[in-house]
Structure 1
Amino acid sequence: MTADVIPQLTAKVRAAAHPDAAPCHCGATITLAHRPDTTVLRHAETVAKAHAPGTDPTALALRLATAAHLPDVFLPPLTPTPATVLGTRPVTLWPYGRPVDPDAPDAAPWEAAATLLARLHRTPPAPGTPPMRGPAKAAHAMGRLRAALATSAKHPAAPPVLRAWSALPAWARGEAPMPGTRTLCHGDLHLGQLVRHPAPGGSWRLIDVDDLGVGVPAWDLARPASWYACGLLPPDDWTRFLTAYRAAGGPAVPADGDPWPALDVPARALTVQTAARYLAKALAADRPLDEVEQSLIDACTRMAPE
């Protein structure tokens, strides 16, 4: 289905962008992402996303409904339920929002990201909201790494990643329920999940509902916390993010004092998840680790020494 999905999805997004079947003079359809688990296309001001094969359509519909009811947090979907299905892949439709500029790190909207998260975390979840998929996503990354190791020569970076993973509590590995919480979480927060609302002067909104659900809110702070702890996020940016989250009343960490007792396990889990992803990609490409990738491996070594 991966090889066939782009032409089918192209037809879907073009039809959604031009429902009156008028002649199109708005340029080509652009591929924004194309991976085995996600394909995203843009045509004019409409975006179509083919979700991972086997995505639970009921859970996805609940996640879409949550986004639709939180227009001050999420970019709202164009339809309240999956628009169609390509094989086993549900398709959703969205307005196009301008993403964060990766070439302007000083302008990264850390305060906006933190404020949106705090707003989300303070929202009571609707009945039936599925679990946040963060731990399951981390487990999937480890599964991909183990599969890559099964077909490759031994790699010196693998043991520290595997040890750090084993040292995590079962809930953070997706092997047990998350500890008692009913907080609404994004599940995969990073700057790539923010876009400008397309309205004139539109402010930042979250996108990507695939991992949205109830869970441990500190998971949503864990990626920037991990990058800060690994020396990959400047301290000033981390301070901006954490300060804005606290100022907006976010419940994931105490209002003041040391945030790390709440952040420690999720930050370690995201460090291992990211290290596993990078190492699997390096093995597949038969290339050495770069500096950023090695810093995450080094962090795994510190987390679980021999």
Structure 2
Amino acid sequence: MTTAPLLPALTARVRATAHARTPACRSCGAATLADRPDGTVVRHGDVVAKAHAPDTDPGALAHRLALAARLPGILLPPLAPAPADLYGRLVTCWPYGTPVDPEDPDAAPWEAAGALLARLHRTPAPAALPLMRGPARTAAALARLRETAPHHPGTAPVLRAWTALPAWARGAAPMPETSTPCHGDFHLGQLVRHPAPDGPWLLIDVDDLGRGVPSWDLARPAAWYACGMLTSDEWTRFLAAYRAAGGPAVPPDGDPWPALDVPARALTAQTAARALAKAVAAGRPLDDVERALIDACARMASVAARVPGS
């Protein structure tokens, strides 16, 4: 959560930026869109300001912002080339975009998502771009699970599935491929329409953007599909759009799973770890989706992962 002076300062920053862009702005106030330890997001008018996590590296964030500015048809471009500092937190400002409606799953833009990721993956990666942070985020989720729920019966199968993964997927060894720009934390919440309300879809959130294994960006939808949380039609639409746009993470036809299996297992373990930790923190029993994720981890530990060439 934000410290006491940060939120008013962030609100003042987003209001000033919005009024500078649109002097006739009639927005009557700022709305807090998110307030988590890893980021606080405030909107005023057509501008969004984000205070990044306290441990964000300023040089790495600057390189990520530079890539977003270079790819305006793929990533939402920032409003300024460098972050500001507010009470020791790095702050960036962005144009507001209309997010995916979680209440209308039939309208989820799976085709747009697949095409955008393919275009990102086909872009040459600048040498200065940091590494993609996906495996590190997964490792952090498992570390938190060990701390918060070491004795919960669901923890053991999640940890078994996790420890069976190759070291690179656990953030414990270099990634086998680091020449491709990757989003690093793709899910439908990372898409907005800009200009709002019905412009083209763009990817947002550069915090994990970097060079890495492109199949990681397909891993969360793949994991959802494997766990029964995404329909065959939705998965097929997403994968077909990615392939049609020349995405390099999977072969252009045939079985995609040798390329996807390890990242999908990692994202299943990460999602299960986060869900279990939240349930324990809230003192509530697991719901059906959370139990399905833990069951998937139990199955994963008993079946060897597939890898390209196997």
**Conservation of the 8 A alpha-carbon contact between 1:131 and 1:213:** yes
Q: Name which of 201, 207, 210 aligns with 1:213.
A: 210
Instruction: Tell whether 2:64 aligns with 1:63.
Output: yes
- In structure 2, what is the equivalent of residue 52 of structure 1? 53
Alpha-carbon distance in structure 2 between the residues aligned to 1:251 and 1:121: 7
Please state whether the residue corresponding to 1:2 is helix, strand or coil. Answer: coil
Amino acid in structure 2 at the alignment position of 1:116? L
- In structure 1, what is the equivalent of residue 28 of structure 2? 27
Amino acid in structure 2 at the alignment position of 1:245? Y
CA RMSD in angstroms, aligned pairs only:
1.7
Instruction: Tell whether 2:9 aligns with 1:8.
Output: yes
Alpha-carbon distance in structure 1 between the residues aligned to 2:21 and 2:200: 29
Is the alpha carbon distance of 1:218 and 1:158 closer, same or farther for their aligned partners in structure 2, counting shifts above 3 Å? same
Q: What does residue range 51-200 of structure 1 map to in structure 2 within 5 Å?
A: 51-82=52-83, 84-149=84-149, 154-198=151-195
Please state whether the residue corresponding to 1:93 is helix, strand or coil. Answer: strand
Q: Give TM-score, length-normalised by structure 2.
A: 0.94
**What is the aligned residue count?**
302
- In structure 1, what is the equivalent of residue 219 of structure 2? 222
**1:170-197 CA-partner distances (Å, limit 9, x unpaired):** 1001111100331110001100000001
Tell me the percent identity: 70
**1:116-137 CA-partner distances (Å, limit 9, x unpaired):** 0000000001121100000000
Alpha-carbon distance in structure 2 between the residues aligned to 1:22 and 1:239: 46
Alpha-carbon distance in structure 2 between the residues aligned to 1:199 and 1:30: 17
Which range is displaced more, 199-208 or 98-107?
199-208
Alpha-carbon distance in structure 2 between the residues aligned to 1:186 and 1:238: 19
Is the alpha carbon distance of 1:279 and 1:256 closer, same or farther for their aligned partners in structure 2, counting shifts above 3 Å? same
Amino acid in structure 2 at the alignment position of 1:297? I
**Conservation of the 8 A alpha-carbon contact between 2:49 and 2:94:** yes
Please state whether the residue corresponding to 1:131 is helix, strand or coil. Answer: coil
1:89 offset after TM fit, Å?
1.6
Is the alpha carbon distance of 1:148 and 1:201 closer, same or farther for their aligned partners in structure 2, counting shifts above 3 Å? closer
- In structure 2, what is the equivalent of residue 263 of structure 1? 260
Please state whether the residue corresponding to 1:19 is helix, strand or coil. Answer: helix
Give 5+ residue unaligned stretches, structure 1. none
Amino acid in structure 2 at the alignment position of 1:109? P
Give 5+ residue unaligned stretches, structure 2. 304-310
Amino acid in structure 2 at the alignment position of 1:91? V
Please state whether the residue corresponding to 1:31 is helix, strand or coil. Answer: strand
Q: Name which of 222, 242, 245 aligns with 2:242.
A: 245
1:279 offset after TM fit, Å?
0.4
Amino acid in structure 2 at the alignment position of 1:123? T
Is the alpha carbon distance of 1:206 and 1:261 closer, same or farther for their aligned partners in structure 2, counting shifts above 3 Å? same
Alpha-carbon distance in structure 1 between the residues aligned to 2:2 and 2:21: 29
Please state whether the residue corresponding to 2:250 is helix, strand or coil. Answer: coil
**Conservation of the 8 A alpha-carbon contact between 1:160 and 1:305:** no
**Conservation of the 8 A alpha-carbon contact between 1:111 and 1:244:** yes
**Conservation of the 8 A alpha-carbon contact between 2:96 and 2:196:** no
Please state whether the residue corresponding to 2:238 is helix, strand or coil. Answer: helix
- In structure 1, what is the equivalent of residue 308 of structure 2? none
Instruction: Tell whether 2:19 aligns with 1:18.
Output: yes
Alpha-carbon distance in structure 2 between the residues aligned to 1:290 and 1:27: 39
